Chains A and B, each alone.
Chain A
Amino acid sequence: MDVTVEVVGEETHEVTVGDDGTYADLVKAVDLSPHEVSVLVDGRPVPEDQPVEVDRVKVLRLIKGGRD
């Protein structure tokens, strides 16, 4: 299926995944790691290992920055 993946604050991508694709597959398709982002469906976070059930998701990136 075709899914619109919006990386919040960055680009929006169109990704095609297979019927058994998961949200983690969407994340990897836009060159991010499932361990550095949260995937939001209608504003609500979803487990990355869940099969994709929607045609549009948002990806929230973590930030770097000084900390001490």
Chain B
Amino acid sequence: MECDKCSRDAVMHAAYSGAHLCDDHFCASVEKRVRRRIREDNMLPRDATPEDPQTWVIGLSGGKDSVVLTHILDETFGRDPRIELVALTIHEGIQGYRDKSVDACVELADDLDIRHEVVSYEEEFGVQMDDVVQKDPENMAACAYCGVFRRDLLERFADELDADKLFTGHNLDDEAQTALMNFFEGDLRQVAKHFDASIGDFEKRRDAGDFIPRAKPLRDVPEKEVALYAHLKDLPAHITECPHSSEAYRGEIQQLLLKLEENHPGTRHSIMAGYEELAELVADEYRGDGQVDLNECERCGSKTASDVCRKCRLLESIEAV
């Protein structure tokens, strides 16, 4: 089977568009979509200058998505004096898994000669995920604890690095899953938050105020294509599944989407196209409506709606066991 753009052997078929592409044209296609998303969402503001550059912090976990994102951002902007890129890696303390993925991060940052910061739960919280899972004081899925801790560290360190934006490697599958979950749960405030915090065009979002805005330029690229890109470029992505990984509801949604995409190619894309429009309308409607005032956590100072933030409450529960 030949590439649609040249006569070389195709390495992939995009069922949603019907395209067959060789390795070179496929990789160029991924890069083009990332750059288009950066441009269309106005991620690089017009007033960025070499004298007053933007700082973009990239959440680099060592998995395929963040590795591909970091690689493409470096290739596109690594020598652009209007932007300073910093990769931020979090070590959760998961035996036999995280050490390898952190190694992948260090290797990539060295290859790209990009600034790289590594922080760990052990150093920052005095806990490791393996121990948290063992204790399980609140009887929650491992991801529920880990997500709270990781987001806290991403936010805190991105702030310390003076980040203008925090880039994450969410792909099309991730975002379509989140869109459906928000929709099925009927949580319109969450939809509005999703728009303002991470998927809206930067010129249409409400100012995030207390939080660093998220940017997700990989969100037009299906997960399988991100993995294929990493493979073809021989990027040092760590591919082993986290041993504590389990997100039952998201897993159900994932299977649903895979079946829909198989029977109706393009489903993920159309979900996201409609959802983005809907999210913007909902955000306009819900902004300022019953807005929760945030104050500083009594213990760590991070923004929270209550006196003590969720992370500190979880840490307290862990220490009590």
Contacts and interface: CB of A to CB of B under 8 A. Distances in A.
Contacts of A38: 12, 224, 227-228, 231
Interface string A30-53: 000111111000001111111000
Interface stretch (B72-80, B145-153, B273-281): B145-153
Contacts of B313: none
B interface residue count range (under 10 / 10 to 19 / 20 to 34 / 35 or more)? 35 or more
A60 interface: yes
B236 interface: no
Contacts of B168: 67-68
A62 B221 CA distance: 14
B142 to A, nearest CB: 9
Contact of A67 (B61, B231, B241): B61
Contacts, number: 92
Interface in B42-73: 59, 61, 63-66
B20 A47 contact: yes
Contacts of B251: 64
A36 B259 contact: no
B262 A66 contact: no
Contact of B259 (A33, A44, A45): A33
A18 interface: no
A63 B63 CA distance: 8
Contacts of B228: 38, 45
A36 B224 contact: yes
A52 to B, nearest CB: 12
B241 A36 contact: no
B223 A62 contact: yes
A63 B61 contact: no
A64 B11 contact: no
A49 B169 contact: no
B311 to A, nearest CB: 14
B66 A67 contact: yes
Contact of B224 (A37, A46, A47, A64): A37
B262 A63 contact: no
A21 to B, nearest CB: 15
A19 B223 CA distance: 30
Given A33-B258, A35-B224, A63-B64, A47 B1 contact: yes
B189 interface: no
17 contacts: A33-B258, A35-B262, A36-B258, A38-B231, A44-B9, A45-B11, A45-B231, A47-B12, A49-B15, A62-B223, A63-B64, A63-B240, A64-B241, A64-B247, A66-B92, A67-B63, A68-B154
Those 8 A-B pairs whose CB atoms lie nearest each other, nearest first: A47-B13, A33-B258, A45-B11, A65-B242, A50-B1, A63-B241, A49-B13, A62-B227
Given A45-B232, A62-B223, 9 more contacts: A35-B222, A45-B23, A47-B10, A62-B224, A63-B63, A63-B241, A64-B251, A66-B143, A67-B61
